[in-house]
């Protein structure tokens, strides 16, 4: 369902002598393949390229080289307009800070992707999808009348409303309390198990990662391992040792960053 081949993303221009030193290779030749109906967590130290990976995979950003394919369609091929159209139809995105529009109601926020895609927007569809996330009675509320957990559930409803094939979530539980986080994780899990969607979620929380079918670890913009059927302990253990084989690199890096988790 999702395929990346040698995807590289560099911020800053390495050919520009003025800025060469500040150029950052955020993704360094990432190749991966995720089957339809899978739930994958992406983990790694801060700055390891997790968000860049999601943005490139979701077509929100363009890699400098490499190929991204979603359901057999190459995202990296077409024009900006074609990419936007494809994204609106087939991809949902959930952000850590919800990214809801404060001036719109819950129902309007939820159906915005349909509206942008020129599809029919009806209130029944809004009610149906918001009921699925437990907010069927909040259609006319504004985001600022909701808790963080409720806002993120609206964001998930918005990501699901167009029935996309793939849903990307960048630290969707990062701003939530334990209970709201669990609600959000169960919704993402249901999207996979009940509705057959493919979910890719960045998280730094081993508990959140344990909801996934497998965990991909990133370090310095490269894949640094995979863990299938992850348990909380196994994830924490792997994180603690991430970067151990990078011999003489800074010991306060990857592993130590997770020591307090």
Q: Which residues bind Mg ion (CB under 5 A)?
A: 50-51
Integer angstrom CA distances of residue 259 from 6, 92, 213, 230: 31, 33, 24, 19
Are 20 and 14 spatial neighbours (Cβ–Cβ below 8 Å)? yes
Q: Rounded distance, CA 200 to CA 215, Å?
A: 10
Q: 100-119 mask for ligand ADP (x: CB under 6 A)?
A: --------------------
The distance of closest approach from Cβ of residue 12 to ligand ADP in the complex, given in angstroms and rounded to an integer, is: 6
The distance of closest approach from Cβ of residue 53 to ligand ADP in the complex, given in angstroms and rounded to an integer, is: 7
Whichever of 14 and 37 has its CB closer to ligand ADP, that residue is 14
List the one residue from 34, 50, 201, 235 that touches ligand ADP (CB under 6 A): 50
Query: Judged by CB under 6 A, how many residues of this single chain contact ligand ADP?
Result: 11
Residue position matching structure tokens 């559930």:
153
The distance of closest approach from Cβ of residue 130 to ligand ADP in the complex, given in angstroms and rounded to an integer, is: 29
List the one residue from 29, 47, 78, 174 that touches ligand ADP (CB under 6 A): 47
87 binds ligand ADP (CB under 6 A): no
44 binds, among Mg ion, ligand ADP, none (CB under 5 to 8 A by kind): ligand ADP
Whichever of 126 and 212 has its CB closer to ligand ADP, that residue is 212
List the one residue from 8, 11, 117, 148 that touches ligand ADP (CB under 6 A): 11
173 binds ligand ADP (CB under 6 A): no
Q: Rounded distance, CA 224 to CA 151, Å?
A: 33
The distance of closest approach from Cβ of residue 61 to ligand ADP in the complex, given in angstroms and rounded to an integer, is: 9
Whichever of 12 and 37 has its CB closer to ligand ADP, that residue is 12
Q: Rounded distance, CA 217 to CA 232, Å?
A: 14
Q: Which listed range, 44-52, 148-156, 206-214, 246-254, lies at the site for ligand ADP (CB under 6 A)? A: 44-52
49 binds ligand ADP (CB under 6 A): yes
96 binds ligand ADP (CB under 6 A): no
**Where along the sequence are the contacts to ligand ADP (CB under 6 A)?**
11, 24, 26, 44, 46-52
């Amino acid at each position: 369902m999702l395929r990346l081949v040698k995807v590289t993303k560099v911020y800053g221009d390495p050919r520009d002598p003025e800025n060469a030193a500040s150029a950052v290779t955020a993704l360094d030749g990432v190749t991966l393949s995720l089957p339809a109906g899978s739930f994958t967590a992406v983990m790694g130290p801060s700055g390891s390229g997790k968000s860049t990976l999601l943005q490139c995979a979701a077509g929100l950003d363009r890699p400098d080289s490499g190929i991204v394919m979603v359901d057999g369609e190459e995202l990296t091929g077409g024009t900006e307009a074609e990419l936007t159209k494809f994204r609106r139809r087939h991809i949902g995105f959930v952000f850590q800070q919800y990214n809801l529009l404060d001036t719109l109601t819950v129902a309007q926020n939820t159906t915005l992707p349909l509206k942008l895609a020129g599809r029919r927007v009806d209130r029944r569809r809004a009610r149906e999808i918001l009921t699925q996330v437990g907010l069927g009675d909040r259609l006319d509320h504004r985001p600022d009348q909701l808790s963080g957990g409720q806002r993120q559930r609206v964001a998930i409803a918005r990501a699901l409303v167009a029935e996309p094939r793939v849903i990307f979530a960048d630290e969707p539980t990062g701003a939530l309390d334990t209970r709201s986080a669990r609600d959000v994780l169960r919704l993402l899990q249901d999207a996979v198990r009940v509705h057959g969607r493919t979910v890719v979620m960045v998280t730094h929380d081993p508990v959140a990662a344990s909801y996934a079918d497998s965990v991909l670890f990133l370090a310095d913009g490269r894949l640094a391992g995979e863990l299938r059927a992850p348990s909380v302990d196994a994830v924490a253990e792997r994180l603690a040792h991430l970067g151990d084989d990078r011999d003489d690199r800074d010991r306060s890096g990857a592993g130590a960053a997770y020591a307090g988790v």
